Amino acid sequence: MDKRNGYVYLLGTGCGDMGCITLEGLEVLRQCEVVIYDDLIDTALLNEVPYNAEKIYVGKRKNKASSKQSEIEDIIVEKAREGKMVVRAKGGDAFVFGRGGEEAIRLNKESIKWSVIPGISSSIAIPEMYGIPVTHRGLSRSFHVISAFTKDDKLRDDIESLSKVEGTLVFLMGFYQLEEIVKSLIAGGKDASTPVAVLSGGNSINHYRITGTLADISDKVENAKVSTPAVIVVGDVAGLGLYSSEDRTDICVGLTGTDEFQAKVKKNLYRYGIRSVSLMAGDYTDLECEMSWDSLLDSVSKWFVFTSARGVRGFFDRIRADRIDLRRLSDVKFAVIGSESQKALSQFGYYADFCPAEYNSIALAEGMSKLVKENEKIVLFCSKQGTGLFESELEKSGIACERYDIYDTCLEAREIEADVLEKVTHIVFGSAAGVRELHKKNFRVMDKTLLSIGPICEKAIKEHFGATPVVAEQASVEALIELLI
């Protein structure tokens, strides 16, 4: 890689769930230093990029605040000039109405090296998600993908001529001009009884599949209050609705907690065909706290304790930032609260000396109280949101604990439309902080099945919502999924 100019990947992330991305696309996301992304990607993919990578949102949704194309190209060039590996992530395919070609031309002009990674276009993926094949023997031998708008943001003037085209017509970016498209096709000679499907949602939280004919589809869509993004399919195949008997359309899971936690849950739900809706946005913030490494790594025998995978990563971030020689940890013992923090620790080449059979603070403290020797010291690295339960349980055994809040969790409930929230049947809670945030925004949850990752979260649900949740047997994503399948 030319470090003077870096390298740019024009990446199509596919359309819909993050599972639609290619293996190559996922690999470059996991290695990038900068990701510049659109509104139409599955934001769960952002959890695959390195934690210290720069994430730049540029919008690109009609009728919503977005960066101009020239501004986006300037950002791509600027970051590449810094010698970084840049991923320009787009929904669908970068070269199918994704303006990836324009970005490629600009990069060539700037003498910056680049390559394109194909993605699954929404013109194919969205119809498939709703059981509509764009080609089907006996119904359609071809399909045609059409942008409804010109570069001047006007409805193209050749719609009537498309009425003579054989096969399936797939319109992108045409939702707001549906009525004009329909009238033009009929005026051009298309039979008014031709099947039409308007497919809204894709990777968004609001899914609609409205079917009809050229004669009545406009009225049906208006009455259903369908929203963008949407794909319009015109042709005999639009009347098909091919669904697997295994699809769990009866369940829709509301997700809370950090984006990282939600991505793990969503990935597991995807395996079972279960839909999910993100109810909040959440991320981590590193905190500045006074840490004396000379004191922490002196000759006194110590246990370093982690109650989350993020705490593990935050600790080793500090180790790296302060240039601490890892050999100084040779006499330290490690304790973790569960399988995720255990896995995170192993990624740094260390293995936990203790992990409780039950993944919660009480079990961790009870186990530690039996292991810690009289001359040993316990140091906890955790979130500012930590309840203090671990320390208080240790105090019952007369054991002191030194605590460092090395990160904070920032959660914000999303504005969810009422008709979307009505579709949610279950809500998954992975932390008490997620419970508090939903309660603060007055979310109505009494008609939902509430799922808790553990007893602390269970207690918060009872206190704030007056409801009794179903509690996972272990504090893990896998155990939560077991409650749903």
Out of 41-45, 259-263, 309-313, which region has the weakest mean confidence (pLDDT)?
41-45
Under a CB-based contact definition with an 8 Å cutoff, are residues 472 and 480 in contact? Answer: yes
Confidence of residue 201 (pLDDT cuts 50, 70, 90): low
Would the CATH topology of 7-120 be identical to that of 124-239?
no
Top-tier CATH class for 288-406: alpha beta
What residues contact 279, with CB distance under 8 A and at least 6 apart? 254, 255, 256, 413, 414, 416, 424, 427, 438, 443
Q: The domain 124-239 is classified under which CATH number: 3.30.930.10, 3.40.50.300, 3.40.640.10, 3.30.950.10? A: 3.30.950.10
User: What is the DSSP annotation of 365-399?
Assistant: HHHHHHH--TT-EEEEEEETT--SHHHHHHHHTT-
| Helix and strand totals (H; E) in the chain | 16, 20
What is the rounded CA–CA span in Å between residue 194 and residue 436?
A: 51
Give the dihedral sign, CA 384/386/391/396.
Answer: positive
pLDDT tier at 66, thresholds 50, 70, 90: low
Report pLDDT digits (tens) over 406-451.
Answer: 999 889 888 777 777 888 999 999 999 999 999 998 888 889 999 9
H or E element, residue 362: helix 361-371
CATH 3.40.50.1360 fits domain 7-120: no
What does the pLDDT read at residue 1? 45
CA angle 230, 232, 236 (to 5 degrees): 145
Answer for the pair 284, 408: CB distance below 8 angstroms, yes or no: yes
Catalytic annotation, residues: 38, 60, 173
Q: Report the alpha-carbon distance of residue 3 to residue 33 in Å, rounded.
A: 12
Question: Which of 383, 245, 257 lies closest to 310 in space, CA to CA?
Answer: 383
Asked if 475 and 453 touch (Cβ cutoff 8 Å), the reply is yes
| CATH class for the region spanning 248-279+414-482 | alpha beta
DSSP character at residue 155: B
pTM of the model: 0.66
Is residue 274 within 8 Å of 484, Cβ to Cβ?
A: yes
CA distance 27 to 37: 16
Q: Give the rounded percent of residues in the chain with a pLDDT score beyond 90.
A: 60
| Six-digit token string for 16 | 């819909």
Q: CA 278, CA 266: separation in Å to the nearest integer?
A: 9
pLDDT tens string 238-247: 999 786 655 5
| Per-residue tokens: 472 | 């996972």
Residue identified by tokens 């051009």 is: 188
106-132 pLDDT, tens per residue?
999 999 999 999 999 989 988 988 889
pLDDT tens digits for range 229-238: 789 999 999 9
What would the pLDDT profile of 444-470 be if each residue is shown by its tens digit?
888 999 999 988 899 999 999 999 999
pLDDT in tens, 306-364: 999 999 999 999 999 999 999 999 999 999 999 999 999 999 999 999 999 988 899 99
SS3 assignment, position 277:
strand
Q: Mean of the per-residue pLDDT values for the chain?
A: 89
Question: Which one, of 304, 308, 306, 311, lies nearest residue 326 by Cα?
Answer: 304
Q: What is the pLDDT of residue 226?
A: 72
Residue 3 has pLDDT above 60, yes or no: no
Q: Where are the domains of the chain?
A: 7-120, 124-239, 248-279+414-482, 288-406
